[in-house]
Chains A and B, each alone.
Chain A
Amino acid sequence: MKTNLIVKYALSILAATLMTSCEGFSDANDSEETSPLDVNVSLNIYVDNLNGIKDLKVSLDNYSEGIHYEKDVDDTHVVHLSGVVPGIYTVSASGMAYDVDGTEYYVNGNIVNKPLHSGTGNLQVEVQGLKVSPLIFKEIYFCGSEGWYFRDQFYEIYNNSTETEYLDGLYFASLYPTNATRILPVWHRDDNGKYVYGERVWKFPGTGHDYPLQPGESAVISQFAANHKMDIYNPNSPVDCSHSEFEFNMNNPRFPDQPALDMVHVFYNGKQEMGYMPQYLTPVFGGAFVIFRVPEGETWNPIDDMSLQNYEEGEEDDVKACIPIHYVLDAVECGDNESKVDAKRVPAVLDAGITWVGATYCGLGVSRRLLIQNGDTLRRDDGALIFQDTNNSTSDFVRGVVPVLHRYDTGVPSWNVTF
């Protein structure tokens, strides 16, 4: 009897060992060699009375492995790419389309984080006329400077349109998750992708027409609007933010209020109060940011309206503000480096890519590209520069540049109180 038990025990151990070891062996046995793929990308172009396309390209980007393919689209609207290395790709289409009247539309479409492997060779991309935002992020400096100094972060908003835009009442928010991560939150209430989630929300001051931004003008919002190159701050900092138009003043006596106008604090953890943070520090790895405006006739009050609050499952003490996607004028997602393109926390409809610096505390930022055609920088009739805005920050931004406020001498608003 005892012998039987020992035999059974030994057999059980042997069986368990075999079962645990077999998993790896069976995986190894049925692995097939990687081989280049043939990929067909069909474009569905949604332009009324479409008559033709111009300079329309399809690109496949595997950012983490640094693989890029690009091909022009012909009138069949189908592109065939061969020799594609299997992997996880962002598939993008961007260019021009024109209708029967000859009116040109800037069109784009994309699929992010698309696994391409054997059996996934046919893709369809929906291409639409681009929603062009009048106000865009022009420059973002988030990584801080040598000496682990992070108070010199700033964000620059540019009027990329032909009309005067008023900053009054425009919202600025940093989004959650704070850092780029593949592990996205499980929200307590499923919002079906209607929102992005603001961790802290600010609003530009003004009653409606106090802070106009003319075409070609930009406004800088600094974490702390001082000359950071001064000895008392950080001589290694690349920027003097003392002439910023706005600052995120958190009433920290060690870093007192500067002449720049104060942004109005709107939301943090379900309240209007700022909380105990001594400064408005966004991730030096790169946060995700939006500017948005509440359409006329609608109200947006995430303090009192509980339907505009949500929290991660089990984290009811850490409330975020729900920002409807259709409110968003511009969104830029920043991350550690190219390997985080598949860790997006901003929907592709707002930003199909991410931008990055690739290091922290290196004194470098990201700057939006100028629109260039045939080697010439495009300008409006009034001379205002036009910046590229394809809703893909990977291609729209130049990465790793020394930050400059009002780069390219974009206009400083007349109401800047610091001069």
Chain B
Amino acid sequence: MKLKYTTNKYLLLLAFSMSFLCGHSQEKGLTPAALDVLKQTQLWLTTDNASGIAFDAPNSYSDISIGYSKKHGTYHRPQNGDDASQVKVYTEGLTKVGKTYLWGDFSYSHTNVSDARFNASLCDPYRGQPFYVTDEHTSDWLDKSYHLAFKAATRPLGCVAFGLEGTYDVTLAAKQRDPRVDARYLKLGLKPAVSISLGTNDIVGANMEYASVKEESSMSREIYYVDHNYYEMYGLGNSVKGLGGERSTNYFGNVWGTGLQYGHHTASWNVISQIAWNRHVENVEIGYSTPEKEGLTDINTYKASVTVQHGCDKYLHEAGVDLSWRYNKVTQYFSQRDNSLDNAGWNVIFKNVRAKYRSANASLRYSLSRLEGDEYTWRVDADVTYRMTDDEFLLPHTTMDSENLYANLSFKNNFILRGSMQRRVLASVNVGLRQSMSGGYSYGGSQPDLFTVSTVMPMEAAFLTQDAWKAGTEITYSQLVKSGSTTHAWVKGSFDYYHGDSSMFNHLSNFSLTLGANF
């Protein structure tokens, strides 16, 4: 069953229109720094609870941008490419229509990736799906991604508000070298929510989550007389070697989850906290007409976060803690073919949980903004993040783990230029450090020379266990498009440089240029 892309195109068109038209102008317009402050203070917008937007009583805004970026270098996870150039269109808006608050965003990106390795099936090999196909050659990929999200909230009906969030993500990815891959990913999500005001300062909320996830991957050959080795991965380098280049893989699953929120706000304090859980179960089958069950992933994700803001005349402080824990229990099926005419197909003989993947993130963040009117004149951001992965393949016993500490510091200065037209130069510098604390890959099976064991996983482990630093800068020039207008046009250039401590993953430079407008 192929995805219905014609329908999808119309949905995307609708989404684009909605996000573009949804905001309307501020009286004085929004500089880029003012838009930063506006988004930063709408805390319910950062949660999974759309209904809470009603209690933020947000101001309307819209922005639209188109950008080009180019990456080059070796500091990246092995399955990403050494070069990538991307064109991206993005638009976001928030407004109030009648009694309903509406927020939406839409993005489209087209990415040309060069020299990506070890992936011959998935749009995103790092999305947590251990059943995929890899091959031995580097290849270019062409990726197209569409993203749409909307949030709608009723105005408070007494002390209660209702809301709904919808997301729609599509990625089409095509590998450009045999064995070629046509991969199509689709995620459609809904989060109905409710929030209740407990007096004037406190709000509690709850939401449900449902998403349908599907990815279809077809591997084929353009040059039919050349047969390639490929590897059907089922976890931490354990794989079955194939020869040829034809395979169709069908991934389909569902996500169910829930979340609870609590918000507290006074004239100077604003607090939002959230705990959330979801369970994502995804089936993997080979072929369509008589599918063979290959595996099943069962991912439980737990998240908790608290953000506290304190504002006074001149300064806005924000501190936050984000925690997440993810546990992926992977089942593998063992099937045999029934070749009889009446029951032709694959019979599952048995299944086992064969691997467990755990990861955790914990981060602390702080920002301080010096306010001037509705924007800031300078802003400092700092964060520290701890990331851990602990992956285990049960039999033959194989492990891969890592612990990393990340620290980032950035400073932004908003230069207010003389004259009319609200001209601004927003300049920032940022530095970051990554410290590997521990980690490694240990294979306990009987095929240490297998390509996926000897090459793919050691490279992945090498990246996860190295130190690195980064430095970057970003400059945005903005002004009103004409006198009396409330639309700010802007142009932004940025450059980031990453340096890894190993020769294999040594450096990466990332340049981008973006044109946009805020309404």
Contacts and interface: CB of A to CB of B under 8 A. Distances in A.
Contacts of A358: 229, 241, 243
Interface in B411-434: none
Interface residues of B, number: 46
22 contacts: A24-B296, A27-B281, A31-B331, A35-B395, A64-B240, A65-B238, A67-B446, A68-B446, A85-B395, A86-B334, A86-B350, A113-B336, A117-B334, A117-B352, A184-B339, A186-B340, A186-B341, A336-B244, A338-B241, A339-B240, A339-B241, A359-B243
B298 interface: yes
Interface string A1-41: 00000000000000001001101110110011111100000
Q: Which of B256, B290, B350, B447 has the most CB of A within 10 A?
A: B350
Q: Which of A23, A24, A182, A339 has the most CB of B within 10 A?
A: A24
Q: Which of A20, A34, A67, A285 has the most CB of B within 10 A?
A: A34
A99 interface: no
A410 interface: no
Interface residues of A, number: 45
Interface in A280-294: 284-285
Interface of A: 17, 20-21, 23-25, 27-28, 31-36, 64-68, 85-88, 113, 115, 117-118, 148, 182-186, 284-285, 313, 336-339, 342, 358-361
Nearest to B447: A66
B353 interface: yes
B336 A186 contact: no
A183 to B, nearest CB: 6
B282 interface: yes
Q: Which 5 interchain pairs have the tightest Cβ spacing?
A: A21-B254, A34-B352, A28-B298, A66-B447, A336-B243
Contacts of B240: 64-65, 339
A357 to B, nearest CB: 9
Interface string B318-352: 00000000000101101011011100100001111
A97 to B, nearest CB: 30
B73 interface: no
A23 B244 CA distance: 33
Given A21-B254, A337-B242, A339-B242, A185 B352 contact: no
Contact of B344 (A67, A88, A186): A186
A124 to B, nearest CB: 19
A387 B92 CA distance: 75
B395 A337 contact: no
A337 B336 contact: no
A28 B332 CA distance: 10
Contacts of A186: 339-341, 344
A28 to B, nearest CB: 4
Nearest to B298: A28
A383 B394 CA distance: 52
B354 A34 contact: yes
Nearest to A179: B244
A91 B372 CA distance: 79
